[in-house]
Amino acid sequence: MALGIAGAAFVGGWLSAGWVVSLDGVVRQRFGGQRFRVPSRVYSAPTIIYPGLDWKLIDLEGGLRRLGYRRVAESARLEPGQYIWDASRVRISVRAFAHPSRPEPARDVVVRLSGSSIEEIRELPAGREIWALPLEPEQIGAYYGPNREQRDLVVLDELPPHVIDAVLAVEDRRFESHAGLDPRRIAGALIANLRAGAVKQGGSTLTQQLVKNFFLTPERTFRRKAQEAVMALLVEFRYDKHEILQAYLNEIYLGQRGATAIHGIGEASRVFYGKSARRLSVAEAALIAAIIRSPNGLSPYREAESAVKRRDLVLDLMRRQGRIDDAAWRGAKAETLRLAAVTPDVGDARYFLDLLRRQLSSVYSEDVLASEGLRIYTTLDGRAQRLAARALREGLEDLEKRYSGLATQEPERALQGCLVAMRPQTGEILALVGGRDYGDSQFDRCTQARRQTGSVFKPFVYIAALEPRGVGPKLTLASFVDDSPLEVKTPSGPWRPRNFDREFHGSVPVREALERSFNVATARLGQDVGIRRVIELARRFGVTSPLPEVPSLALGTAEVSPMEMVRAYATLANGGVLPEVQAIEDLVGKGGKTLERRRLRFERVLDAGTAFLATSMLRGVAERGTAAGLRSNGLRGPVAAKTGTTDGEHDLWLVGYTPELVAAVWIGFDEPRSIGIPSSVGALPIWRRFVQELTGGEIRGKFRRPPEVTVADIQPATGWLALTGCPERRPEFFLKGTVPRITCPTGAVSDVQGDDSPAVRRRFFDWLRRQM
């Protein structure tokens, strides 16, 4: 019998030893590999404030709050991340930030205000004048793993002692002396729970808590508790206290920020106080330690009174254990709860985040983005993005209210749209909204959809005719085009284009043809220029979508993405220079190493003179043509734009630009069907609202005329050069060498080389007969 007992004991011991060995393997694998999955963070471009800027327009105080800055009283001592605001000045303690290409130190500044304008900025205490002040980039998102956990890893040696002491005082006062289990703590918790008749205290050490979070499921069974105890002993056996404590401080769960779990004191410090854990005060450290027990039940935002009460308990423990002196204890207890402004997850930028993910996927896998803690600095303008999202959402809602047939209760059948904005000189994406609601549809209509462009494609036809290639341009801005009935033979039968008004207008000035978006005149010009040449020009402008070589291409029957169109129009705004689309400024990896840096790339694809002429024509569209509604709410300054409405009103477009901005709006149904309104009613108001709110209604800058463009007076009725005695005249732009040779009032041919075509002579004699 004794032999049987011994055998059973041997087998049991062997099995137990095997169990322990397997647990030890789990511990070594988890601790020896990547301990934490840190999501990559994505940041907007920094906001820059400067004298002359309209602080109300940019919502300066709202921007400070979104960055986690806290407004304090005039008498308060300013710490980084705080500001004082009064009627004539703002004092800001600006936080340092480590942007890879434009880092900024912490500084104390005074921003003086005059009405809605910033008058001057000075740095304290010396009073040195600052001409431009960058504020740190705003986090616009992150690439999470399946658990949506966010961390800001801390290094134990860089933390002030009181941060560590606060945690040890309340969670494990004998951490430095026990071997993973604390019998005294277990016994004390057992007695307290028996007296209370319920579980009021836990006996787990800090090491046991780490093991539970690191390795085990939350189930409460004897086997799991046994695993926890054995693994805690193994962790203490294999790793030193320094490693264990640092891992704990980075792993511990400390609440929620929307759908994202806050893990570690580094992230908690950033969320609660808008600062690094290295700069936590005694009271702030005590509060974070206090909520470890029940992060959501003791949330300082929702349960401030309970959180402060437990914070004070932690301070009492720290004093009783000799971790702080009486003076520090009194000062910390007197400190009010000074939380950073709540900055909920940014939802407006999720289409942009998906675009970034697709761009990065060729180099960085989904797992890397969700675990390596990359910092991705982007070109996105946070304010422009918010305004774009609101303009699109509310613009579509307004259309549904005005035209009840557009509304539906089925999200997949809802009226959709997109808005993308770019800086034309650099190709930087400033805003991108790929749909009205990312929650309902993640399909990005700005970059993933191709839709018929309608009349926003027509400028390519006119540019192809204006561009001097070989013998010279096909026309000038003084030319006339033919809007009489047209029939073109095609393999599928004769094609007869029609105008929107179902009328024909005869010989019309080229400006009027584009401003009023005459289909027949544009189609005939496309035939004169050659559809192949139009395609070649569109390709130079960055259009990569299929462009069928058919007559109707001139009227925008090809399907193209809004991103392609906004880049093409950016080329005009940029004087004929095609920019490469930019979404990323810098990408930073572990240890602050820069992995990617933006490289601006450009290519001249059109001479500056022709680009200016095209811009002049499109300014006419915005002043007198189909896009004239852009001015209806008082939008001032230079704007060039083109509307586009496809056959059956399935797609509504407006693409337009200013000297500093180009933006495209598209509206339609994902499964194409008639919207029943033109683009001037559908897309234009959304574009107008976005640009008006972004600029405050006053567009800066000007479209500069290049040296190769000259100005001459012409007679509007004929397009001739207007000399002294001509009864009517208006100025017009011309490429040098293309000024009309026929002159008004005599009809004589001048010595200036220019347009001397038979069509011009025919118009002269027609005009002469009308005068007789």
The dihedrals phi and psi of 68, each to the nearest 5 degrees, come to: 90, 15
- Long-range Cβ contacts of 328-333 (<8 Å, 24+ apart): 328/162, 328/282, 331/282, 331/283, 332/281, 332/282, 332/283, 332/286, 333/283
- Above 50 in pLDDT, residue 641? yes
Are the C-beta atoms of 561 and 450 separated by less than 8 Å?
yes
Q: What share of the chain is helix, strand, coil (3-state, %, to 5)?
A: 40, 20, 40
pLDDT band per the 50, 70, 90 thresholds, residue 2: very low
Fold of 143-334: Penicillin binding protein transpeptidase fold (1.10.3810)
pLDDT one-digit tens code per residue, 447-475: 999 999 999 999 999 999 999 987 778 99
- Above 90 in pLDDT, residue 43? yes
Q: What is the mean pLDDT of the chain?
A: 88
pLDDT at position 37: 85
For the chain, which residues make up each domain, given as ranges?
42-139, 143-334, 709-771
pLDDT one-digit tens code per residue, 212-264: 887 766 666 666 677 778 878 888 888 889 999 999 999 999 998 877 899 99
Sign of CA dihedral 312, 313, 319, 324: negative
pLDDT at position 597: 86
CA dihedral 554, 556, 562, 566 (to 10 degrees): 30
Distances (CA, A) of 644 to 516, 651, 666: 11, 8, 9
pLDDT one-digit tens code per residue, 677-705: 999 999 999 999 999 999 999 999 999 99
Indicate the range of 108-112, 361-365, 438-442 predicted with least confidence. Answer: 361-365
Indicate the range of 116-125, 188-197, 342-351, 638-647 predicted with least confidence. Answer: 188-197
pLDDT band per the 50, 70, 90 thresholds, residue 19: low
pLDDT at position 72: 87
pLDDT at position 216: 61
Measured at the CA of 734, the angle between CA 731 and CA 736, to 5 degrees, comes to 130
Are the C-beta atoms of 622 and 655 separated by less than 8 Å?
no
Distances (CA, A) of 658 to 389, 628, 661: 20, 15, 5
pLDDT at position 10: 39
pLDDT at position 731: 94
Indicate the range of 30-39, 158-167, 650-659 predicted with least confidence. Answer: 30-39
pLDDT at position 4: 42
Residue 416: name the closest of 627, 652, 678, 687 by CA: 652
Question: What is the set of active-site residues?
Answer: 171, 455
The residue ranking higher by pLDDT, 180 or 291, is: 291
pLDDT at position 1: 43
Distances (CA, A) of 125 to 72, 91, 109, 120, 122: 19, 12, 8, 15, 9
- Above 60 in pLDDT, residue 127? yes
- Above 60 in pLDDT, residue 201? no
pLDDT at position 30: 64
| Residue 430 per-residue DSSP state | E
Give the whole-angstrom CA distance, residue 749 versus residue 740. 9
Are the C-beta atoms of 457 and 555 separated by less than 8 Å?
yes
Indicate the range of 93-97, 101-105, 242-246 predicted with least confidence. Answer: 101-105
Burial grade of 677 (CB within 10 A; 0-12, 13-18, 19 or more)? middle
Residue with token string 């035939």: 527
Indicate the range of 141-150, 193-202, 670-679 predicted with least confidence. Answer: 193-202
**Could you tell me how far CA 506 lies from the centroid of its own chain?**
47
Are the C-beta atoms of 600 and 427 separated by less than 8 Å?
yes
pLDDT at position 196: 53
Q: Peptide bond before 745: cis, by omega within 30 degrees of 0? A: yes
Give the whole-angstrom CA distance, residue 479 versus residue 152. 65
pLDDT at position 258: 78
Residue 583: name the closest of 346, 357, 345, 347 by CA: 357
Mean pLDDT of 539-568: 97
Fold of 42-139: Penicillin-binding protein 1b fold (3.30.2060)
Give the whole-angstrom CA distance, residue 682 versus residue 666. 9
Are the C-beta atoms of 278 and 266 separated by less than 8 Å?
no
**Could you tell me how far CA 583 lies from the centroid of its own chain?**
9
Query: 10 Å Cβ neighbour count for 760?
Result: 19
Residue 374: name the closest of 358, 360, 355, 359 by CA: 360
Query: 10 Å Cβ neighbour count for 499?
Result: 17
| Residue 725 per-residue DSSP state | T
Paired sense of beta strands 651-657 and 640-645, if any: antiparallel
pLDDT at position 452: 97
pLDDT at position 25: 62
pLDDT at position 767: 41
pLDDT at position 749: 76
Residue with token string 């004998």: 174
Residue with token string 């005059």: 114
Mean pLDDT of 275-301: 93
Distances (CA, A) of 110 to 48, 86, 127, 130, 492: 15, 11, 9, 10, 72
Amino acid at 111: V
